[in-house]
Structure 1
Amino acid sequence: MQYEIIDSHCHLDFPKFSRDRGETIERARQEGIIAMINSGVDYSTNIASLELAKKYDFIHATLGLNPQMVPDASDEKISQILSQIERNIDRAVGVGEAGLDFHYCETESGRQRQIEVFRQVIDIARKYNKTLVIHGREAEDIALKLSHDLDTVVFHCYGGSLETMREIVDAGHFVSVPTLVCFSEHHRSIAKHLPLDNMLIETDSPYLSPRKGRNEPAFVADSVPQIAALKGIDASEVAISTVRNTRRVFGI
């Protein structure tokens, strides 16, 4: 049985979709994906995300600044992206992805710079009352402390601890379960213990495919029966809840 689903985080503007972007979007629609949130990560992908949202009324853009670029980026480059986000804020359904990624950044100076820039992104989300989409990796607890007081926060592709996940839920925020739930025991545990009222689902495509090769928005459908089985509920309940949550989070 097919049900309506939303892919709450993807990167359709990335080069891996250059050859068949239109066909990829059409496949998602045929699979019952009624909306897609395309997330910018820097200046050029923010522009591309806005262009996709302009072209397709069921694709919505968030404008971001990926933490992985922050330690080596000049102040000028960071300011340029932050200004771009503010200038286009009315065309975006959220701010992000942005946050902290300590996995590859092991220097204290690099990590502090990520925190400093993330604070500026949080300020934009607060100023314009926009949902903040967090990229948190091996720093989820710090990202939560910094963003705790915002009205609406989504921890995208969450892979942190169950303890921090419960703190996110207690703060009234949301956790997005990636297609990793199809094969990762840790993500299966997260999905099992995450309340449906706080759950979104995503592909993060072109990454994290539950099938061989490139991931794409249509494959978010693979997650729904997996999550349903973990929770002992009907798949349609997972689909309905996550669609409702995503609409509420992004105002779509």
Structure 2
Amino acid sequence: MDLQVIDSHCHLDFPKFNKDREETIQRALNAGVEQVLNSGVDPKTNLSTLKLAQKHDHIHATLGCSPHLSPKANNEQIKNMLDFIEDHVTEIAGIGETGLDYHYFTSEAERNRQIEVFKQFIELADRYNKPLVIHGREAEDIALGLSGHLDKVVFHCYSGSLETMRSIVDAGHIISVPTLVCFSEHHQEIAKGVPLEHMLLETDSPYLSPRKGRNEPAFVLDSLPWISKLKGIEQKDIASTTRKNTIKVFGL
């Protein structure tokens, strides 16, 4: 069964791929991953993501600022990131990943700083009508409250509540299901509940592997039999619809 899919979120520029990056990219193509979205999280990876997308026609860049970085970054550093993204805005498919992470950041000051920075990236996405790729952890409802007015919002690697998931869908936004669905009961519940028209697939590689060791874009296909079983929908229809959804939201 030849299925064509898109990995809507990964980090092929990360050091874990330094030894075999080109082979990994080729393996994904051979497996049926026809396009890939690579996501920057800080100044260094925004640059390396952009270079990767410039080298490969089927790899598209989204540039952002991880909420892990924003509590530590000063205003000048944030401005430099925003300026860099703005300088390259015509070359990218989206803004992000960016957002809120309340799991690792528990103080009010850290969380307020995350919100302050997140708002600037929301404004940038709004100004250029680019989809916003959100990293939300234990703050998905707050992230939705801040960004829900945008036309195109993708909650990458969604791990929040089913209630907030329904609010995201009701607002017309997108839930990206990671390869965690192969072994996480919570993500299986999410996949079961998300309407297919609001779903993307992703690996978030090199993280969250459904196999032993490092994850990679080729493994995005591992999700298909699981989602097929959960939703009672054929794998080819899941592959086809999530592919169309990704093309539409990111304008590929």
Superposed pair shares fold, TM > 0.5:
yes
Shift of 1:85: 1.1
* 2:94 maps to amino acid: G
Say yes or no: does 1:144 pair with 2:156.
no
* 1:86 maps to amino acid: E
For 1:43-54, list aligned pairs within 5 A: 43-54=43-54
Helix, strand or coil at the partner of 2:70? helix
Distance 1:173 1:206 in 2: 25
Shift of 1:2: 2.2
Say yes or no: does 1:56 pair with 2:94.
no
Gaps in structure 1 of 5+ consecutive residues: none
Shift of 1:73: 1.4
- 1:115-156 deviation per Cα after TM superposition (whole angstroms, max 9, x unaligned): 000000000000000000000000000000000110000000
Distance 1:83 1:114 in 2: 18
Helix, strand or coil at the partner of 2:61? strand
Shift of 1:44: 1.0
Gaps in structure 2 of 5+ consecutive residues: none
Shift of 1:177: 0.1
Distance 2:124 2:251 in 1: 18
Helix, strand or coil at the partner of 1:209? coil
Shift of 1:87: 1.1
Shift of 1:231: 0.4
Shift of 1:24: 0.2
CA RMSD, 1 decimal: 0.5
For 1:1-252, list aligned pairs within 5 A: 1-252=1-252
* 2:75 maps to amino acid: D
Distance 1:226 1:3 in 2: 15
* 1:190 maps to amino acid: I
Helix, strand or coil at the partner of 1:71? coil
Distance 1:70 1:58 in 2: 30
* 2:237 maps to amino acid: E
Structure 1's consecutive aligned runs of 4 or more residues displaced over 3 angstroms after TM superposition are none
Shift of 1:80: 1.0
- TM-score, normalization: structure 1? 0.99
Distance 1:39 1:243 in 2: 18
